[in-house]
Amino acid sequence: MKLFFDFLPIVLFFVAYKFGGGDYTINGLTYHFEGIYVATAVMIAVSVMQVSISWLLFRKVERAHLITLALVLVLGGLTLWLHNPDFIKWKPTAVNWLFALAFFGVYVFTDKSLLERMMADHIQLPQKIWSRLNIAWILFFIVSGLANIYVAFNFDEDTWVNFKLFGMLGMTIVFVIAQSIYLAKHAVEVSK
C-alpha cells in the first residue's frame, strides 16, 4: 500500500497525460488543454494531497515526499506559468540527484551511511557492505537522473511520459531486486 501511495502522483500524472488533454466546450466556448499541462496540474494537486493526508493521518511527512512536493511546486508551477514543459521534465532528474547528494553527504560527513541509518534496525552488515550499497544507490540515482534527461530531450513527449512511469519504475525494481540478492549473501537479520 505504501508503494502505491508513494507512486500515486506519477501514476495519476500518466493517466492525466493520456486521457486529460483535448478540446472541451464550456458554455459554448471551446478550450484546448494539452495533456502535459493537465498532467502537471494533476501532479501538483495530488502531491499536495499526498503530503496533507500523510500529515493528517500520521502527524509526520517523509522527507522524500516533502522534497518531491517542493520540486513539483516549483518546476510544475514554472511549467504551467511559462507554458514550457521542459521544467517538469527536469523534475525526476532533480529528485534523483538530490537523493544522490543526500546519500553522498551523509556518507561523507557522518559515521553511518543513510542506508545504514534506515535499515540497521532490521539487518546487520559489515561496514564495507553498507558502504558498497550506499555507493550503489548514489550511482543509481545519478544514472536515473541522466536517463531521464536523455529520454526527455532526445525523444518525443509521449515517449518521455511512458519512460517516466514504466522505465524509471522498471529501473528501480531491477535495482532493488539486485540489491536484495546482494544483501541476501551478506545480511544477518536482527531479532528484537
Q: Tens digits of per-residue pLDDT, 108-165?
A: 888 788 778 887 777 788 888 888 999 999 999 999 999 999 999 999 999 999 999 9
Residues 3 and 69 in one domain: yes
Residues 92 and 71 in one domain: no
End-to-end CA distance of the chain: 25
Closest CA to 100 of 162, 148, 161: 148
C-alpha 173/C-alpha 177 separation (Å) is 6
Residues 174 and 192 in one domain: yes
Residues 80 and 142 in one domain: no
Query: 84, 118, 135 — which closes off a domain?
Result: 84
C-alpha 54/C-alpha 32 separation (Å) is 34
Instruction: Determine the structural domain holding residue 62 and report its residue range.
Output: 1-84
- Strands of 11-149, DSSP E: 22-26, 29-33, 123-124
Higher per-residue pLDDT: 94 or 3: 94
Residues 90 and 171 in one domain: yes
At 123 the pLDDT is 79
Residues 113 and 45 in one domain: no
Query: 84, 101, 127 — which closes off a domain?
Result: 84
Lowest mean pLDDT among 8-22, 56-70, 117-131: 117-131
Q: How many domains does the chain have?
A: 2
Residues 55 and 93 in one domain: no
At 190 the pLDDT is 53
Residues 30 and 122 in one domain: no
